[in-house]
Amino acid sequence: MAEGTATKKMMTFADDPIGDQPVTALPGVGDVTANKLCAAGFSKAYNVLGQLLVFGLDEAKFIAWFKETTGGNDKLAKDCYQGLLLHCSQKLQIST
């Protein structure tokens, strides 16, 4: 997958209302990463979205936070960021 290419999980996440989805609905988040996010108080996808909004949609800040919080790598962090950004663009009508 080329950087910036939306995965099926990204598209599904962006197309669906965020509602009460667990963090595992986020691109780049599997069971291990989800457990670490939950342990840090981020059990729902909207919690992670809120963190991105706190960072003003800043990619570098979000990726640094994601990696520090989860121990995940750049690819996982970027997948999560891109999925959330796509969601913001499609559902929240926030220019990205």
Range of the domain at 49: 8-14+22-91
53 assigned to some structural domain: yes
Predicted local distance difference test score (pLDDT) of residue 71: 96
Q: What is the pLDDT of residues 68-83, one digit of tens each?
A: 999 999 999 999 999 9
82 assigned to some structural domain: yes
Contact (Cβ atoms closer than 8 angstroms) between residue 5 and residue 15 = no
1 assigned to some structural domain: no
65 assigned to some structural domain: yes
The type of residue at 42 is F
Q: How many domains would you assign to the chain? A: 1
- Give pTM, 2 decimals: 0.86
CATH number assigned to the domain comprising residue 27:
1.10.150.40
